[in-house]
Structure 1
Amino acid sequence: MRELAAGARYLGRGQRWVLGHGRWLGFGLLPALVTFVLYTAALVALAFWTGDIASWATPFADDWGSPWRTLLRTVFAVLLWLALAAVSVVSFAAVTLLIGDPFYEKLSEQVEESEGELPEGPDLSLWRGLWVSLRDSLFVLGRTLMWTVPLFFLGFVPFFGQTVVPLAGLCVAGFFLTLELASVALERRGVPVRERLRMLRQRRALALGFGVPLVLLFLVPFVAVLLMPGAVAGAALLVRDLTGAGDEDEAEDAEGATAAGSGPRTDRGHWPDPRTPR
């Protein structure tokens, strides 16, 4: 429970940070707004075509009598829309981060500088950085689908599909949304995407505490646009916890200003400097 609460606190701290730095909030809304318009159009179109897709996917039910044919196809359409909505939450963050990559990278850096020393990541060109982000986002999306597709079919199981499956889908979306958002700060540390996944698996409750409330909020129209800058800021704070820097920040705050004349922090947490040969 402490880890779940800690994840939720990082989400709240991120939102407070951008509200206290209105300039960053304002700039961060534009990439999210562009993505929101694209995704809204796609989901609205899907809502109109869902019935036809359900009929195409279930030809074996053409000869079924009423109400079973209608019931099956209604359940199929609802599950399909919910599954794609869950995937869209994770991919929304990925597309928004790609569109606003320079801004969100700078936002993440500013958050870390306000908490302590900023880790210096690999020196990549803009296009190389975009390619790495796209490649890693496709990896995260693929892992999300590995869970979402089986859950979609399990949704047809009576009772189990209407109780356990939606909760599991929410947790899957929350975990991978956290992974996507944390990638901004972890990529700066030179942490490969598979290692990021391993790190969050070890702190699964922390990731769920951050991601699950965000998924629920992202499902509310337009809220995703407003919360995206703060989500990136909160993920930067969460990454400092993952790499050990957050614990040291809290210890330093607890000590207060008793160490007069002490210089700036020179540690980078427990994760090694990516420029240092191993």
Structure 2
Amino acid sequence: MNTEKLNNLHFSAACLLRGLRLLARPGLRHLVWIPLLINLVLYGIALAGGIHYFSVFMNWLVPAWLDFLRWLLWPIFGLSFLLIMYFTFTVLANLIGAPFYGRLAESTIVLMKGRPEPVSEGSFSKALISGSLSEAKRLMYFLARAIPLLILFLIPGLNLIAPLLWLAFSAWFLALEYMAYPLEAQGFEFDEQRRIAKRLPFGVVGFGGLVTLGLTVPVLNVLIPPAAVIGATLYFLEGQSGNQPDIGLAKR
């Protein structure tokens, strides 16, 4: 594994941008349109809910005696609310779309290596079960850390730093989320995926940070999840050493 290359923010950002360009690539686009439809529906619901409940959220967090600070707190808590809403719906969308994302990562590896696509040994129902179980395991990891962070929003004083902590956690978790698919395609389980990610903090968190930012932009947020799967696959595929046959990661 070329650690120096993989731990580079510029390289991870370039892979994500290439993932966006490859969404319409023959060989991949048939695996993209169903996740795009899922994302479109769920993010539409998130946007409508966000517009409707934002004022309620602000009134709840900012008591009347702090109204004079509302102008300062509005952008801080507004960004937090947006991130929480879209992050939650992203986790739900990924849970539903996990089988498609797993196959998308596998097809990206095949396409980039220039080999004919192998005959799948498992049925779609098997991929559905396997992908959903993996996603459920990541969901448990997410909940164990997200709930304490959300509690910080309710504690006066600490809720001022809660948005920054949530942003950092979002970047880390979303990187784990989308990088899981190419790593699972190579047989790496969740614990091993986390070990790999910890060795590449700048590349991984940079990738996740850009994904998080993209999820807050209407229209782009519909395209970001499948693009992130393709981008994460390119990230590991092209970060390999020249003498390794897989995506460049050796199990310990």
TM-score bin (small chain): 0.7 to 0.9
Contact 2:152 2:158 in 1 (8 A): no
How many pairs align?
243
The alpha-carbon distance between structure 1 residues 266 and 43, as it changes in their structure 2 partners (threshold 3 A), is closer
2:44 is aligned with 1:40: yes
Partner of 1:177: 174
1:48 partner amino acid: H
Contact 1:240 1:269 in 2 (8 A): yes
2:250 is aligned with 1:271: yes
1:190 partner amino acid: G
Contact 1:144 1:176 in 2 (8 A): no
Cα offset for 1:76? 6.9
Cα offset for 1:233? 0.5
Identity %: 26
Task: Normalising by structure 1, report the TM-score.
Answer: 0.68
CA RMSD of aligned residues (A): 3.9
Given the alignment, which residue of 180, 183, 186 partners 2:183? 186
176-185 or 102-111, which deviates more: 102-111
Partner of 2:110: 113
Gaps of 5+ in 2: none
The alpha-carbon distance between structure 1 residues 114 and 197, as it changes in their structure 2 partners (threshold 3 A), is same
The alpha-carbon distance between structure 1 residues 122 and 140, as it changes in their structure 2 partners (threshold 3 A), is farther
Provide the C-alpha distance between the structure 1 equivalents of 2:40 and 2:87, rounded to a whole number of angstroms: 13
Provide the C-alpha distance between the structure 2 equivalents of 1:144 and 1:84, rounded to a whole number of angstroms: 17
Cα offset for 1:155? 8.7
Task: Normalising by structure 2, report the TM-score.
Answer: 0.73
Q: CA offsets per residue over residues 137-196 of structure 1, 9 Å max, x none?
A: 3134225515743664689569xx4xx765554333222111111111222333232332
The alpha-carbon distance between structure 1 residues 52 and 146, as it changes in their structure 2 partners (threshold 3 A), is closer
Cα offset for 1:235? 1.0
Cα offset for 1:94? 3.2
Cα offset for 1:53? 4.5
Provide the C-alpha distance between the structure 2 equivalents of 1:81 and 1:122, rounded to a whole number of angstroms: 47
86-95 or 213-222, which deviates more: 86-95
1:212 partner amino acid: G
2:182 is aligned with 1:213: no
Q: CA offsets per residue over residues 22-46 of structure 1, 9 Å max, x none?
A: 5633651432333333233234334
Partner of 2:10: 5
Gaps of 5+ in 1: 253-264, 273-277
Higher relative contact order (CA 8 A, sep 6+): 2
Computing the radius of gyration from Cα coordinates, the structure with the larger value is: 1
Partner of 1:262: none
Provide the C-alpha distance between the structure 2 equivalents of 1:100 and 1:3, rounded to a whole number of angstroms: 29
The alpha-carbon distance between structure 1 residues 148 and 75, as it changes in their structure 2 partners (threshold 3 A), is farther
